[in-house]
Structure 1
Amino acid sequence: MSSLLSKNEVIRHREFRFLGMGAVTSNQAELKGEGVIPSLWSNFYANNVLERIPNKINSSIIALYTKYESDETGPYTIALGTEIIEGQAVPSGLEEWVVPESKYVVFTTRIGPVQEVVVETWQEIWEWSKYNERAFQSDFELYDLRSVDPMNGQVDIYISVK
């Protein structure tokens, strides 16, 4: 186990509303190159989704993993968007989710190329999951000001736990 894991502690994160665009996938499909995550990110940027979201809390991007059918081996929904204040009409092509209050362990990537460090940290999370009980409720990656430079960024990954 890496030293990073020993620094992680369980926190409680409040419920929040999320607006974004989503798709169903599985880790198996993603690892085989048959997944949707790369095209979802491309569409997110090409269609200026963040700019189309009304009532944003801030300019951070959230990658939400939710609606798990089982665990990391089954299908789940991934959605890209951001936290919102409730009460606005949902723009066409977007969907709203309520992320319930939950306990999380937060994994912080090292600083580096975002695509590389996020995948590396998920591999660490899957190893950590062998010895710790995930809730498979809603997990999310937080892309804030630390990840503005895609070649020199840092991301927090929130993993819901029981």
Structure 2
Amino acid sequence: MYDIVILQKQWIKGLSVRTTNEMEQTNERKIAPLWQQFFTQQLCGGHAPVIGLYSDYEKDENGAYLFTAGQLVDQQLAQDAKEIPGSTYARFQTRKGPIEEVVFETWQQIWSWDQRYLRTYTGDF
């Protein structure tokens, strides 16, 4: 299930790694260890939501992309932060459950949705 929302430009600051969906299906995956590093270093603080941002796509879901584990920050703190462009987004809702299961299920919904609608590959979070 999803709805369409219009969001203003935002910034996220955290840890980033370049990876592919193919790599994330192997023992060489990078996203799960990045989340562990993010929480181990206690980089999350304050009341801002913790999010994962997929950006800087090489082409589409079959190419490399940058994954950032971080928190939204104010524009004043945006130095060295990744910009999430202001745009119209499809916002998908998930069930509560183990994070790896829920994220995978949601990506399956997005990939199915992507077959019916135009996806820009500018940023997913």
- What is the TM-score normalised by the length of structure 2? 0.90
Structure 1 residue 114 displacement after superposition: 2.3
Partner secondary structure for residue 76 of structure 2: coil
Match of 1:87 among 76, 96, 99: 76
Q: Secondary structure at the match of 1:81?
A: strand
State the 4+ residue runs in structure 1 displaced beyond 6 angstroms.
Answer: none
Partner of 1:77: 66
Q: Identity over aligned residues, as a percent?
A: 33
Stretches of structure 2 that go unaligned for 5 or more consecutive residues are none
Instruction: Look up the equivalent residue of 1:139 and give its one-letter code.
Output: D
Q: CA RMSD in A?
A: 1.7
Change (3 A) 1:89 1:72: closer
Q: Matched residues in 1 for 2:103 and 2:78: separation? A: 32
Distance 1:133 1:124 in 2: 14
Alpha carbons of 1:89 and 1:12: their partners in 2 closer, same or farther (altered >3 Å)?
Answer: closer
Shift in Å, 1:89 = 8.0
| Higher Rg | 1
What is the aligned counterpart of 1:104 among 83, 89, 97? 89
Partner of 1:150: none
SS of residue matched to 2:70: strand
In the alignment, the residues of structure 2 paired with residue 98 and residue 89 of structure 1 have an alpha-carbon distance, to the nearest angstrom, of: 8
Consecutive unaligned residues of structure 1, counting only runs of 5 or more, are: 141-162
SS in 1 for 2:66: strand
Matches within 5 A, 1:83-162: 83-88=72-77, 95-140=80-125
